[in-house]
Amino acid sequence: MSTREFLVRHFSRMGARVLVHESRAAQQVKVRIDVARDRSGEFFDIRCQQEVAPEILDVQARLRHLVLMVRDGADRNKFLLGHDERHWFAAAVPGDNVHDVQTAIASLRPTEIEGQTAIRQGEWFFVPDFTLSTRGAVIHRNEPLSRGAGSKPHLCREMIRRGGETVWVCPQYPAGLSFVEYRALADANKRVNNYPWRRMTREAQVWVRGDVRHSDHKTITLDGWHRVYMNRERFARHAPQIAFLD
């Protein structure tokens, strides 16, 4: 059975379409996974080197999730693919102990919130914080919450930030530049001053309250202040192999 036939059979078990492109040309990574759309709707677009044989570790048809593994030398890179509320998604999962959908989901949950009740929306987890003092705090309204790298932000009714690093962000530099990096770039190339820069805060502690909206997810309403944590996908060494950003 070819790689294409193998993947089509397993993806169909969770109700998903998949298009597989095999290439003989050398690529920077063994596999590239995206969620694309055509006239029939969304589908998984997988591009891999011809010698790569992706493996399916687990399919949970009822949950509409599966775990795919790609061997890269001694590394076994694993991905959780599935359906979340309204759309298909793909996420690189960290950790060597992932062997099925349940352990893949658990590996993405922030370690800081172990044993706590959390509300999730996409890659963000919200944990009630009854100890937060807002005295002297600046409360931002209708503020974006973004992981960067071009992802669509979640819009929060009210937000408090503390700590972190101020960075300058634009479409050409979605990960952000420090002030020193920004000034060095601007001195070397005057045209960058015309980019649509926006000042943001990276690695800050964040609390939000009220509605949190995102076009790909159901709106959630947080009663009282909640501490915000991002999932652990960024700790997966193979995270750059996911092309789809929500």
| Average pLDDT over every residue of 97-123 | 96
Output the pLDDT for position 245.
41
Q: Work out the angle at residue 195's Cα, subtended by the Cα atoms of residues 193 and 196, and round it to the nearest 5 degrees.
A: 120
**DSSP classification of residue 153:** P
pTM of the model: 0.83
For 1-19, b/e burial (b = at least 16 CB within 10 A) is eebeeebbebbeebebbbb
Mean of the pLDDT values across residues 159-179?
87
SS3 at position 173: strand
**pLDDT of 81 above 60:** yes
pLDDT at 217 (0 to 100) = 94
82 forms beta bridges with 65, 89
User: What b/e string do you get for 161-178 counting C-beta neighbours within 10 Å, with b at 16 or more?
Assistant: beeeeebbbeeebeebbe
Q: What is the per-residue burial (b if ≥16 Cβ within 10 Å, else e) of 181-190?
A: ebeebbeeee
Identify the band that residue 176 occupies on the pLDDT scale cut at 50, 70 and 90. confident
| Helix spans in the chain (H) | 3-13, 101-108, 179-188
Residue in this structure with the two tokens 């963000």, named with its chain if needed: 124
Task: Give residue 35's pLDDT band: very low, low, confident or very high (50, 70, 90).
Answer: very high
DSSP one-letter string for 26-65: --SSSEEEEEEEETTEEEEEEEEETT---EEEEEETTTTE
Sorted by where each begins, the domain ranges of the chain are 3-109+235-241, 119-231
Alpha-carbon separation of residue 25 from 19, 20, 22, 218, 243 (angstroms):
18, 15, 9, 41, 19
The average pLDDT across 40-63 equals 93
pLDDT value at 75 more than 60: yes
